[in-house]
Amino acid sequence: MPMNAKQVRVVDAILTTIVRGYSNNAYIGNVLFPFVPAPSGGKVIKFGKESFALYDTLRARGADAKRISVGYEAEPFALDLHDLDAIVAEEDQRDAALTPNIDLAKEAVETTMDAILLNLEYQQAKIARDPANYAANNKMALTDPFGDIDLRDMAATAKAAVRARIGKDPNVAVLGPQARDAFKSHPMLTAALEKVGKINVSDDMIREALDIPRFVVGEAIYVENIDNKDAPFTSIWGNDIIYAYVPPTLSARQPAYGYTYRQPGRPLVRQPYQANSRRSTVYGVSDERSPQCTSDSAGFLISGVVTA
Protein backbone atom coordinates (compact mmCIF):
# COMPACT_ATOMS: atom_id res chain seq x y z
CA MET A 1 0.00 0.00 0.00
CA PRO A 2 1.46 3.43 -0.92
CA MET A 3 2.52 5.67 1.95
CA ASN A 4 0.52 8.79 2.69
CA ALA A 5 2.16 12.23 2.87
CA LYS A 6 2.61 12.13 6.65
CA GLN A 7 4.25 8.70 6.52
CA VAL A 8 6.59 9.87 3.75
CA ARG A 9 7.74 12.87 5.80
CA VAL A 10 8.45 10.67 8.82
CA VAL A 11 10.36 8.10 6.77
CA ASP A 12 12.30 10.86 5.00
CA ALA A 13 13.41 12.41 8.31
CA ILE A 14 14.40 9.06 9.83
CA LEU A 15 16.37 7.95 6.77
CA THR A 16 18.16 11.29 6.45
CA THR A 17 19.28 10.95 10.08
CA ILE A 18 20.52 7.43 9.35
CA VAL A 19 22.46 8.40 6.25
CA ARG A 20 24.18 11.39 7.86
CA GLY A 21 25.39 9.15 10.64
CA TYR A 22 26.57 6.47 8.23
CA SER A 23 30.27 5.84 7.75
CA ASN A 24 32.52 3.19 6.28
CA ASN A 25 35.88 2.64 7.97
CA ALA A 26 37.49 1.84 4.64
CA TYR A 27 37.05 5.44 3.47
CA ILE A 28 39.79 7.79 4.63
CA GLY A 29 39.74 10.53 1.97
CA ASN A 30 38.37 13.09 4.44
CA VAL A 31 41.64 12.78 6.39
CA LEU A 32 43.33 14.65 3.53
CA PHE A 33 40.25 16.54 2.35
CA PRO A 34 38.13 17.47 5.40
CA PHE A 35 34.59 18.67 4.76
CA VAL A 36 33.88 22.39 4.59
CA PRO A 37 30.34 23.81 4.26
CA ALA A 38 30.11 25.76 1.01
CA PRO A 39 27.52 27.29 -1.31
CA SER A 40 26.98 25.88 -4.77
CA GLY A 41 30.18 27.54 -6.00
CA GLY A 42 32.91 29.99 -5.13
CA LYS A 43 36.66 30.36 -5.18
CA VAL A 44 39.21 28.12 -3.51
CA ILE A 45 40.98 29.98 -0.71
CA LYS A 46 44.68 29.22 -0.87
CA PHE A 47 47.47 29.99 1.53
CA GLY A 48 49.92 32.85 1.07
CA LYS A 49 53.20 33.60 2.86
CA GLU A 50 51.87 36.52 4.90
CA SER A 51 52.40 34.72 8.21
CA PHE A 52 56.14 34.42 7.52
CA ALA A 53 56.86 37.97 6.39
CA LEU A 54 58.78 40.44 8.53
CA TYR A 55 56.50 43.46 8.45
CA ASP A 56 57.38 46.94 9.60
CA THR A 57 54.78 47.22 12.36
CA LEU A 58 56.05 50.49 13.81
CA ARG A 59 53.41 53.25 13.66
CA ALA A 60 53.84 56.95 14.29
CA ARG A 61 51.25 58.70 16.44
CA GLY A 62 48.22 59.62 14.36
CA ALA A 63 49.44 57.62 11.37
CA ASP A 64 47.51 54.82 9.70
CA ALA A 65 48.27 51.26 10.71
CA LYS A 66 49.89 49.21 8.02
CA ARG A 67 47.68 46.57 6.43
CA ILE A 68 48.21 43.08 5.19
CA SER A 69 45.99 40.61 3.37
CA VAL A 70 45.47 37.08 4.58
CA GLY A 71 45.12 34.25 2.11
CA TYR A 72 44.07 34.75 -1.47
CA GLU A 73 41.39 33.52 -3.81
CA ALA A 74 42.43 31.08 -6.48
CA GLU A 75 40.51 29.41 -9.28
CA PRO A 76 36.72 29.14 -9.01
CA PHE A 77 35.01 25.88 -8.22
CA ALA A 78 31.48 24.56 -8.53
CA LEU A 79 29.92 21.84 -6.46
CA ASP A 80 29.03 18.72 -8.41
CA LEU A 81 25.67 17.00 -8.04
CA HIS A 82 25.70 13.31 -7.14
CA ASP A 83 22.48 11.28 -6.97
CA LEU A 84 21.64 7.61 -6.77
CA ASP A 85 18.35 5.76 -6.31
CA ALA A 86 17.68 2.34 -4.81
CA ILE A 87 14.54 0.46 -5.82
CA VAL A 88 12.90 -1.95 -3.38
CA ALA A 89 10.17 -4.21 -4.72
CA GLU A 90 6.89 -4.47 -2.77
CA GLU A 91 7.35 -8.23 -2.59
CA ASP A 92 10.78 -7.83 -0.99
CA GLN A 93 9.42 -5.31 1.50
CA ARG A 94 6.60 -7.70 2.38
CA ASP A 95 8.95 -10.66 2.91
CA ALA A 96 11.47 -8.57 4.88
CA ALA A 97 8.73 -7.44 7.25
CA LEU A 98 8.36 -11.06 8.35
CA THR A 99 12.06 -11.33 9.25
CA PRO A 100 13.37 -9.73 12.46
CA ASN A 101 16.10 -7.09 12.15
CA ILE A 102 15.61 -6.62 8.40
CA ASP A 103 14.82 -3.03 7.41
CA LEU A 104 14.96 -2.70 3.65
CA ALA A 105 14.46 1.08 3.71
CA LYS A 106 17.52 1.44 5.92
CA GLU A 107 19.45 -1.06 3.82
CA ALA A 108 18.51 0.80 0.64
CA VAL A 109 19.73 4.22 1.78
CA GLU A 110 22.89 2.85 3.41
CA THR A 111 23.81 0.89 0.28
CA THR A 112 23.17 3.96 -1.86
CA MET A 113 25.12 6.18 0.50
CA ASP A 114 28.02 3.74 0.47
CA ALA A 115 28.13 3.94 -3.33
CA ILE A 116 28.17 7.75 -3.19
CA LEU A 117 30.96 7.71 -0.58
CA LEU A 118 32.97 5.23 -2.65
CA ASN A 119 32.73 7.60 -5.60
CA LEU A 120 33.96 10.46 -3.40
CA GLU A 121 36.84 8.34 -2.10
CA TYR A 122 37.84 7.60 -5.68
CA GLN A 123 37.76 11.31 -6.55
CA GLN A 124 39.88 12.24 -3.53
CA ALA A 125 42.43 9.51 -4.20
CA LYS A 126 42.66 10.48 -7.86
CA ILE A 127 43.58 14.04 -6.84
CA ALA A 128 46.01 12.93 -4.13
CA ARG A 129 47.81 10.39 -6.33
CA ASP A 130 48.26 12.71 -9.32
CA PRO A 131 51.86 14.01 -9.50
CA ALA A 132 50.62 17.05 -11.44
CA ASN A 133 49.05 18.35 -8.20
CA TYR A 134 52.43 18.66 -6.45
CA ALA A 135 55.27 21.17 -6.74
CA ALA A 136 58.41 19.91 -8.46
CA ASN A 137 60.25 19.27 -5.18
CA ASN A 138 57.22 17.72 -3.48
CA LYS A 139 57.13 14.35 -5.19
CA MET A 140 59.27 11.27 -5.53
CA ALA A 141 58.79 8.38 -7.96
CA LEU A 142 60.57 5.29 -6.65
CA THR A 143 62.41 3.17 -9.18
CA ASP A 144 64.09 0.75 -6.77
CA PRO A 145 62.45 -1.97 -4.68
CA PHE A 146 61.11 -0.50 -1.45
CA GLY A 147 63.38 -2.79 0.58
CA ASP A 148 66.39 -0.90 -0.78
CA ILE A 149 65.04 2.48 0.34
CA ASP A 150 66.48 4.08 3.48
CA LEU A 151 63.34 4.90 5.44
CA ARG A 152 65.03 7.66 7.45
CA ASP A 153 66.13 9.45 4.28
CA MET A 154 62.73 9.02 2.66
CA ALA A 155 60.86 10.50 5.63
CA ALA A 156 63.38 13.32 6.04
CA THR A 157 63.12 14.25 2.36
CA ALA A 158 59.32 14.36 2.43
CA LYS A 159 59.13 16.40 5.62
CA ALA A 160 61.85 18.84 4.56
CA ALA A 161 60.14 19.52 1.24
CA VAL A 162 56.83 20.41 2.91
CA ARG A 163 58.47 22.45 5.68
CA ALA A 164 60.52 24.45 3.15
CA ARG A 165 57.39 25.56 1.30
CA ILE A 166 54.82 26.11 4.08
CA GLY A 167 56.87 26.42 7.27
CA LYS A 168 55.19 23.41 8.90
CA ASP A 169 55.89 19.69 9.09
CA PRO A 170 53.30 17.34 7.61
CA ASN A 171 51.09 15.89 10.35
CA VAL A 172 49.42 12.97 8.57
CA ALA A 173 50.33 10.28 6.05
CA VAL A 174 48.07 8.16 3.88
CA LEU A 175 49.23 4.77 2.68
CA GLY A 176 47.77 2.50 0.08
CA PRO A 177 47.47 -1.12 1.26
CA GLN A 178 50.34 -2.21 -0.98
CA ALA A 179 52.54 0.48 0.56
CA ARG A 180 51.55 -0.67 4.06
CA ASP A 181 52.50 -4.23 3.15
CA ALA A 182 55.85 -3.02 1.82
CA PHE A 183 56.60 -1.48 5.23
CA LYS A 184 55.76 -4.76 6.94
CA SER A 185 58.47 -6.54 4.98
CA HIS A 186 61.09 -3.77 4.91
CA PRO A 187 64.49 -5.04 6.13
CA MET A 188 64.99 -2.07 8.47
CA LEU A 189 61.79 -2.92 10.35
CA THR A 190 62.11 -6.70 10.27
CA ALA A 191 65.64 -6.39 11.60
CA ALA A 192 64.32 -4.26 14.47
CA LEU A 193 61.76 -6.99 15.19
CA GLU A 194 64.44 -9.64 15.54
CA LYS A 195 66.20 -7.62 18.22
CA VAL A 196 63.09 -7.60 20.44
CA GLY A 197 61.93 -11.10 19.60
CA LYS A 198 58.68 -10.09 17.87
CA ILE A 199 57.14 -11.40 14.66
CA ASN A 200 54.90 -8.73 13.11
CA VAL A 201 55.65 -5.11 12.22
CA SER A 202 53.19 -3.01 14.22
CA ASP A 203 51.39 0.17 13.23
CA ASP A 204 53.52 2.05 15.76
CA MET A 205 56.66 0.88 13.98
CA ILE A 206 55.30 2.06 10.63
CA ARG A 207 54.33 5.42 12.14
CA GLU A 208 57.81 5.81 13.62
CA ALA A 209 59.37 4.93 10.27
CA LEU A 210 57.21 7.56 8.60
CA ASP A 211 58.18 9.99 11.39
CA ILE A 212 54.65 11.36 11.46
CA PRO A 213 52.09 11.87 14.26
CA ARG A 214 49.37 9.93 12.42
CA PHE A 215 48.95 7.65 9.45
CA VAL A 216 45.95 5.90 7.93
CA VAL A 217 45.63 3.14 5.34
CA GLY A 218 43.17 3.49 2.49
CA GLU A 219 41.57 0.06 2.25
CA ALA A 220 38.79 0.94 -0.21
CA ILE A 221 38.51 -1.09 -3.41
CA TYR A 222 36.31 -0.86 -6.47
CA VAL A 223 35.38 -2.87 -9.54
CA GLU A 224 35.25 -1.31 -13.00
CA ASN A 225 32.43 -3.41 -14.45
CA ILE A 226 29.83 -4.72 -12.02
CA ASP A 227 28.22 -6.76 -14.80
CA ASN A 228 31.38 -8.82 -15.30
CA LYS A 229 31.44 -11.47 -12.57
CA ASP A 230 35.16 -12.03 -13.18
CA ALA A 231 36.12 -8.36 -13.06
CA PRO A 232 39.01 -7.85 -10.63
CA PHE A 233 38.93 -5.51 -7.65
CA THR A 234 41.26 -2.51 -7.76
CA SER A 235 42.74 -0.67 -4.79
CA ILE A 236 41.75 3.00 -4.77
CA TRP A 237 44.91 4.15 -2.93
CA GLY A 238 47.23 1.57 -4.51
CA ASN A 239 50.92 1.63 -3.70
CA ASP A 240 51.51 5.30 -2.88
CA ILE A 241 52.49 7.20 0.26
CA ILE A 242 51.16 10.72 0.76
CA TYR A 243 52.48 13.09 3.39
CA ALA A 244 50.27 16.13 4.09
CA TYR A 245 49.73 19.01 6.42
CA VAL A 246 46.07 19.24 7.38
CA PRO A 247 45.28 22.04 9.86
CA PRO A 248 43.28 21.01 12.93
CA THR A 249 40.83 23.86 12.30
CA LEU A 250 39.70 25.60 9.13
CA SER A 251 41.60 28.82 8.54
CA ALA A 252 42.59 30.83 5.48
CA ARG A 253 45.68 31.85 7.46
CA GLN A 254 47.04 28.33 7.56
CA PRO A 255 48.29 26.17 4.71
CA ALA A 256 46.09 23.20 3.96
CA TYR A 257 46.57 20.21 1.72
CA GLY A 258 42.95 20.22 0.59
CA TYR A 259 39.26 20.38 1.44
CA THR A 260 36.03 18.79 0.30
CA TYR A 261 33.57 21.62 -0.18
CA ARG A 262 30.02 20.39 0.46
CA GLN A 263 26.60 22.01 0.28
CA PRO A 264 25.09 22.43 3.77
CA GLY A 265 22.40 19.87 4.46
CA ARG A 266 24.01 17.19 2.31
CA PRO A 267 23.93 14.26 2.04
CA LEU A 268 20.15 14.19 1.82
CA VAL A 269 17.70 11.32 1.53
CA ARG A 270 15.00 12.20 -0.97
CA GLN A 271 11.37 11.56 -0.11
CA PRO A 272 10.60 7.93 -0.97
CA TYR A 273 8.03 7.53 -3.72
CA GLN A 274 6.14 4.71 -5.36
CA ALA A 275 7.17 3.50 -8.81
CA ASN A 276 3.77 2.05 -9.54
CA SER A 277 4.64 0.40 -12.84
CA ARG A 278 7.40 -1.54 -11.08
CA ARG A 279 5.41 -2.11 -7.85
CA SER A 280 8.36 -0.72 -5.95
CA THR A 281 9.45 2.07 -3.62
CA VAL A 282 12.33 4.32 -4.68
CA TYR A 283 14.79 5.65 -2.09
CA GLY A 284 17.13 8.35 -3.36
CA VAL A 285 20.26 9.90 -1.82
CA SER A 286 21.75 13.20 -3.00
CA ASP A 287 25.12 14.80 -2.36
CA GLU A 288 26.65 18.05 -3.60
CA ARG A 289 30.40 18.39 -3.15
CA SER A 290 33.75 19.13 -4.71
CA PRO A 291 37.11 17.87 -3.36
CA GLN A 292 39.88 20.36 -4.05
CA CYS A 293 43.65 20.35 -3.59
CA THR A 294 44.34 23.79 -2.11
CA SER A 295 48.15 23.68 -2.06
CA ASP A 296 50.75 21.99 -4.23
CA SER A 297 53.25 22.43 -1.40
CA ALA A 298 51.40 21.16 1.69
CA GLY A 299 51.90 17.54 0.65
CA PHE A 300 54.52 15.15 -0.65
CA LEU A 301 53.77 12.21 -2.95
CA ILE A 302 55.86 9.03 -2.95
CA SER A 303 54.68 6.82 -5.78
CA GLY A 304 55.71 3.41 -7.04
CA VAL A 305 56.16 1.59 -3.72
CA VAL A 306 56.85 -2.04 -4.62
CA THR A 307 58.29 -4.87 -2.57
CA ALA A 308 60.09 -6.69 -5.38
What was the pLDDT predicted at 225? Answer: 78
pLDDT for position 269: 84
Q: Check which CATH number belongs to the domain holding 180 and give it.
A: 3.90.1690.10
Q: Is residue 54 part of a domain?
A: no
CB 55 within 8 A of CB 22: no
Q: What is the extent of the structural domain holding 208?
A: 5-19+29-49+69-303
**Measured distance CA(134)–CA(176) in Å, rounded:** 18
DSSP string, 211-247: T-S-EEE---EEES-TT-TTPPEEESSTT-EEEE---
Residue 4 pLDDT: 45
Residue-level pLDDT at 7: 42
- The SS3 of residue 86 is strand
For residue 24, being part of any structural domain is answered with no
Number of domains composing the chain = 1
Q: What is the pLDDT of residue 25?
A: 65
Query: For the chain (length 308 residues), average pLDDT per consecutive 10?
Result: 43 57 75 89 65 69 72 72 89 68 76 90 97 96 94 97 94 96 95 87 96 96 82 92 92 81 88 85 90 93 86
**Residue 269 domain-assigned?**
yes
Do residues 172 and 246 lie in contact, with contact meaning Cβ atoms separated by under 8 Å?
yes
pLDDT given for residue 3 in this prediction: 45
pLDDT score of 226: 77
Task: Decide if 275 contacts 295 (C-beta within 8 A).
Answer: no
User: What pLDDT, on a 0 to 100 scale, did the predictor assign at position 206?
Assistant: 97
Cβ proximity of 207 and 215 under 8 Å:
yes
Could you tell me the pTM of the whole model?
Answer: 0.83
Identify whether 59 is part of a domain.
no
CA terminus-to-terminus distance, the chain: 61
> How confident is the model at residue 11, as a pLDDT?
46
Measured distance CA(28)–CA(216) in Å, rounded? 7
Residue 284's CB is within 10 A of a number of other CB atoms, namely 19
Residue 148 carries which DSSP code? G
Instruction: Decide if 122 is inside a domain.
Output: yes
Residue 63 lies in a domain: no
Q: What is the pLDDT of residue 99?
A: 61
Torsion angles phi and psi, residue 33, rounded to 5: -125, 75
